[in-house]
Amino acid sequence: MPSPSTAKAPPRAAFFFAFAAIYLIWGSTYLAIRVAVSTLPPFLLAGARFLIAGALLLAWIAATRGFHATRRHWRDNAIIGALLLLAGNGLVVWAEQAIPSGVTTLIIAINPLLFALGEWGLPQGRRPTAATFVGIGLGLIGLVLLVGPGGAAGDPRHAAGVLLACASWTAGSLYSRRVRNPSDPLTGACLQMLCASVFLLVVALGRGELSHLAWGAVTGRSLLAWGYLVLAGSLVAYSCYVWLLKHSTATRVSTFAYVNPVVAVFLGWSVLHERLTPRILAASVVIIAGVVIITWQKSRAKGA
């Protein structure tokens, strides 16, 4: 087995495809979630999504190279799956019952701000620079524009759910980078989706979503959107995200947070006719500017 110093680096084309997936596909999943959740219950939708995607990925891994996972791999990835997919994704799906897809992704764009604060809070973490604090401040101003009184986020409960999802996603991403002896990225993604699907389905059952589901009211449009979430959002984009966390820096990976809003806001406006008010546009500019400053400052610090 080659050592880390002699192992062959992944080809540049792999990085190009992986970043394109988390930029464009993930940007479009907020629209798909909004469509799917219009007639499907949120946690049942998310649980079934990751159960099918995880099972398909498991079958592919077993057929191509054999599936191997230790008890420790299952434990670590169950924790990551709970943070990233149960809370990080499940709460977003729940919130999009009431919040437009474009506004949801703008709130989620604060993830790099949370990354900066989370890395500072870790043992031997670096204190953010003055420029990073400026970026964090801009992000918070943009967030207030969205979720403050009269903001586009509407119901404060659902906006709080998205913020909690952001915090959980950040914690899961940071934790995944510090796991000792991790599974390979594809196996890790598979384990995370399978474990999270169980957690999500338990929540769905506890909420009575299965017993209250009216199959006759479920539209073909919602089912198509759900299928897109399974194949493109989970199998492709989520696997690429987990792979990038192992092969790139958290700073570079977190740049999806200022591409996704552009994609999601445009799709929400053009497909679902979601409103684009001056306040939403102002919040978009302020949040993305804050994220760009944070990302630029981190890249500069690493270069130095």
Mean pLDDT of 217-223: 95
What are the CA-CA distances from residue 220 to residues 83, 105, 206, 226 (Å)?
31, 25, 26, 10
Burial of 291: CB neighbours in 10 Å, binned 0-12, 13-18, 19+:
buried
Tell me the pLDDT band of 149, cut-offs 50, 70 and 90. low
**Higher pLDDT among residues 96 and 251, named by residue:** 96
Q: Which residues contact 300 (CB under 8 A, 6 or more apart)?
A: none
What are the CA-CA distances from residue 7 to residues 2, 188, 247 (Å)?
5, 20, 12
Distance CA 269, CA 267 (A): 5
Tell me the pLDDT band of 67, cut-offs 50, 70 and 90. very high
Q: Can you give the pLDDT at residue 57?
A: 94
pLDDT exceeds cutoff 50 at 185 = yes
Instruction: Render the burial of 45-84: b for 16+ CB within 10 Å, e for the rest.
Output: bbbbbbbbbbebbbeebeeeeeeebeeebeebbbbbbbbb
Other beta carbons within 10 angstroms of residue 276's beta carbon come to 16
pLDDT exceeds cutoff 80 at 87 = yes
DSSP one-letter code for 120: H
pLDDT exceeds cutoff 80 at 153 = no
pLDDT single digits (tens) 236-288: 998 898 888 888 876 678 778 778 888 888 888 899 888 888 888 888 888 88
Q: Can you give the pLDDT at residue 136?
A: 77
Q: Can you give the pLDDT at residue 148?
A: 66
Q: Can you give the pLDDT at residue 5?
A: 43
The helix or strand, by DSSP H or E, that contains position 268, with its residue range, turns out to be helix 260-271
Q: Can you give the pLDDT at residue 152?
A: 61
**Higher pLDDT among residues 296 and 218, named by residue:** 218
Q: Can you give the pLDDT at residue 4?
A: 41
Distance CA 296, CA 300 (A): 6
